[in-house]
Chain A
Amino acid sequence: MLKKSKASKLVSKLICGVAVTLSFIASAAQEVNVYSYRQPFLVQPLFDQFTEQSGIKVNVVFAKKGMAERLAREGEYSPADILLTTDISRLIELYDRGLLQANHDKVLTDAIPAQYRAQDNSWFALTTRVRNIYSSKRLGVVEINYEDLADVKYQGRICTRSGKHAYTVALVASMIAEHGEADTLIWLEKFKANLARKPQGNDRGQVQAIHQGLCDISLGNSYYFGKMLKNEQQKIWADGVNINFPNQANRGAHVNISGMGLAKYSPNVDNAKKLMIFLVSEYAQQLYAETNMEYPVRVGVVPSKLVASWGEFKADSLPLEIIAKNRTLALKLIDKARFDL
């Protein structure tokens, strides 16, 4: 008897505890949860501003590998509201696995051109970044296409990071869309034969290598140029190169995006939608452009002065979905060409 009453007391205590916890959760509902592939320090100023304006707290967890898996495993109980990614393939992966939901809010669809959002509005780009070709100032002004990376005149003069990196894979995927599988493989093999050293390091490291005279040409994202120019130690590397927008006479430069999506089981949908609207607002897009030196997607928002000084350019109009779709094939070709070995 005594035991039983003890047990029932315990149960009632437990239920009480759960109820209190839940009511606490309910009262703390003015928040929005973000799973981010993007480093929090890059977006924190935006979140702070959002919290100030709306009173909604932003919780973030950042990871690069396995975020989609975590979301999928958590399923309907996932606390995630918004996903932020830095590469189209990750965004499409979330979409393909049914982890996103559409958001047809007119503010979003008006602000973002159709090319930079899903057809069913389940993901949106926030910024674009160009895969530039950096060339040593020793070469003077060059007109260059991605195809020229295979040109024998650059033999032993090209540096690049790993072929397996998401940015390289996306570029190869766009090459497949343009030239088909067989020609892309040949291009990759010749490109590899032109390398001054086996693929290694990061985008800035390649510019450093150009500065040191090891090579003349490298691939790199646009914003790293700005970041190097603003870094005391690295400015000297960036000063030694020109930033080129490839394929301007034909299809245009390859662009990738950073983007966002609304989680399928988002528990705080209203707050999440508010955050999404905030992130495409002129203010946020401007801040994004200024701090991270990417190109804002919102029509009418101009890039930062420094970025604008690199000139206008034509972007490849290839639908981003195709880049994501060709991703696996691209990786297979990179393996076949033994690009990293």
Chain B
Amino acid sequence: MIEKQKNRRWRGASYFIALTLMIPVLVMLYAGINASNELFIHLWQTVLPDYIANTLILGVFVVLLSVIFGVISAAVIVHTNVVGKNALRWLLMLPLAMPAYLVAYLYTDMFDYAGPVQRALRAWFSWQSPSDYWFFDIRTLGGASVVIALVLFPYVYMLARTAFEQQDQNLLRASRLLGLSAKQSFYKVALPLARPAIAIAASLVLMETLADFATVQYFAVNTLTTAIYDTWLGYNDLASANALASILMLFILFAVVSEQRARAGQTYQSERPNKNHQLIKLTMIQQLFASGFCWLLVIAGFILPFILLLFMAWQYSNIAQLQALLPTGINSIKIAVWAASLTTFFALLLVLFQRLSHDRWRALPMNISGFGYAIPGTVLAMAMLATFAPIDHAINDVAKYFSLPTPGLVLSGSIFAIIFAYVVRFAAIANGTIDSGIKQIPKSIDYAPASLGVGLFTMLRKIHLPLLKSSIFVAWLLVFVEAMKELPAVLLLRPFNFETLSTQVYQLISDEMLEQGALGAILIVLLGLLPIIWLNRAKTGNGEEEV
């Protein structure tokens, strides 16, 4: 635990970080005050109820599917003797590297009436028109939910797997001794123990889904984000757009907080982490099903879309294009590394403060710093503009006052602005991941060093950080991958002549030329994969520590 003086400094730092990250969110809330009633009434009378219904259904479906996909695959990998699990273990993370809007584009293209799948079926069975046969419509809520869940489930998978792996196996053994079957003990012991991790992952999935615009647009599904963009760009009413975005954010937070309340008071740490797994032995048929399920996720979430991209790149790209893309790729990596490192560092600070401080409100800085993830990217980028512009103006006004030459815009349209936006947006991911990791560490450990006279930082360095190592890695990785894919903030906040892979790909997609952008998309995916693979190798290298 932290002694008083250090606590004060740490508290100061935590609140400073949290409030800084909150500024754009507050700016958005404030800008929403001037929303027009008239426009709300119009929207309410026409389309808004449908949008809200769609938003709710989409949120529930995607979260449910992601949890089903993620928890089952994590359980199979950790608790069973399924064949090929060493490969599946990291393959299941790969869909994360796929930008959701790309997968949406590829799948809607592939499965709609004019797409190759239905064309082939028509040719095969000599069907002539839509009335000759039934085929599912990809551009529906259902289609959108499945495809979005396919790229987001790895959040659940990664956090659930880490939780399963760090559980005290003695508890499972005890439950078996008390007469539960392997299956029962999984449901009654392992799963409830992993609930905080699963809940954190599910809330990340929910935020990402509901704040999304581009992906659902490919599915012709209208959600609250549709209303936000219509209000802003169509009705030219930015205030009302901000108000709608604020409502969406509060709604998401409400869902997240209710879940937290529902399990308040329950504690989950095991006192003796014990990693000697006793695997559930599956029969051949069961193994076939289990590994089939995991492979299906890997294929649908990663391999198939990746092959489609390769195919397009093969047809439309050349070496010169690849060379031209390299500096762009370096830009992407630079800002992603900065964003991931800063976000992870801040998250560590905030999570440890929450854990070690005696303050009544010690969780507050961590919780409020994660709001940015529940806001649609472009709306957040607009709030960034509104945050930086007054500062820039003030700097120039001061310069003018002292008759110095004005420096122009220092913050707006700078790399700094982009990285700041990323930290605001992805703080929730890093906070959640590290928080879920620290929840697995027994609290008694926090007290032990003090009683032995060891200082706070020695304790952190020798005990907490090593125990958190895998969570820190995962947090960094998740933010890095997200930052590689991120589009709206970098598009709107960047300086002149600054391209990243995602802006490059977007340019082409927005002119209806995904084929030409395939090469850039492949680079986004491959560069996003590098840390996943590196992480996996680093981990298998030292045996007992697993990520």
Interface assignment of A322: CB less than 8 Å from any CB of chain B:
no
CB nearest neighbor in B for A66: B492
With the chains together, A67 CA to B492 CA distance in Å?
A: 7
- Given contact pairs A73-B386, A77-B408, A331-B235, A213 touches B129 in the complex (Cβ within 8 A): yes
Q: Which residues of chain A come closer than 8 Å to B498, judged between CB atoms?
A: 61
Considering the complex, give the chain B residue whose CB is closest to the CB of A206: B114
The residues of A that contact B511 with a CB separation of less than 8 Å are 39, 42
Give bound CA distance, A197 to B118, whole Å.
15
| CB of A96 to closest CB in B, whole Å | 8
Per the 8 Å Cβ criterion, residues 203-251 of B in contact with A are 217, 219-220, 222, 226, 229-230, 232-236, 238
Inter-chain CA distance A79–B406, complex, in Å, is 12
Complex CA distance for A338 and B119, rounded to whole angstroms: 30
Residues of B within 8 A of A162 (CB): 217, 220
Q: Judge whether A203 and B512 touch: CB under 8 Å.
A: yes
Q: Which residue of A lies closest to B54 (CB)?
A: A341
Q: Mark A172-204, 1 if CB is under 8 A from B, else 0.
A: 000000000000000000000000011111111
> Closest A-chain residue to B385, C-beta based?
A73
Q: Which residues of A contact B139 (CB under 8 A)?
A: 197-198, 200
**In the assembly, what is the distance between CA of A162 and CA of B218, in Å?**
10
Question: Contact: B234 with A66, CB < 8 Å?
Answer: no
Distance of B511 from chain A, by nearest CB (Å): 5
Given contacts A22-B405, A79-B409, A202-B512, contact A197 B113 (CB under 8 A): yes
Chain A hits for B46, CB < 8 A: 332, 335-336, 338
A80 to chain B minimum Cβ distance, whole angstroms, is 9
B378 close to A66 (CB less than 8 A) = yes
Could you tell me if A39 and B510 are in contact, using CB atoms closer than 8 angstroms?
yes
- Whether B382 pairs with A66 at a CB distance below 8 angstroms is yes
The CA-CA distance from A164 to B114 in the complex, in Å, is: 23
- Is the beta-carbon distance between A59 and B497 smaller than 8 angstroms? yes
Across the interface, name the chain A residue whose C-beta is closest to B42.
Answer: A332
In the complex, chain A residues whose CB is within 8 Å of the CB of B405: 18-19, 22
Q: How many of chain B's residues have a CB under 8 angstroms from any CB in A?
A: 61
CA distance A200 to B139 in the complex (A): 8
Binding site secondary structure of chain B: helix
Q: Is B496 a contact partner of A60 (Cβ separation < 8 A)?
A: yes
The 5 closest A-B pairs by CB, nearest first: A59-B496, A200-B220, A73-B389, A212-B114, A335-B46
> What would 18 A/B residue contacts be, using CB atoms closer than 8 Å?
A15-B404, A41-B507, A61-B494, A61-B495, A63-B492, A66-B381, A73-B386, A73-B388, A75-B393, A162-B217, A164-B226, A164-B230, A197-B139, A204-B512, A205-B112, A213-B128, A335-B230, A338-B50
- B-side residues, CB < 8 A to A, are 42-43, 46-47, 50, 108, 112-114, 119, 128-130, 139, 217, 219-220, 222, 226, 229-230, 232-236, 238, 315, 378, 381-382, 385-386, 388-389, 392-393, 396, 404-409, 412-413, 488, 491-492, 494-498, 503, 507-508, 510-512, 515
What is the interface of chain A, defined by CB distance below 8 A to chain B?
15, 18-19, 21-22, 25, 33, 39-42, 59-67, 69-70, 73-75, 77-79, 93, 162, 164, 169, 197-205, 208-209, 211-214, 224, 227, 233, 327-328, 331-332, 335-336, 338, 340-341
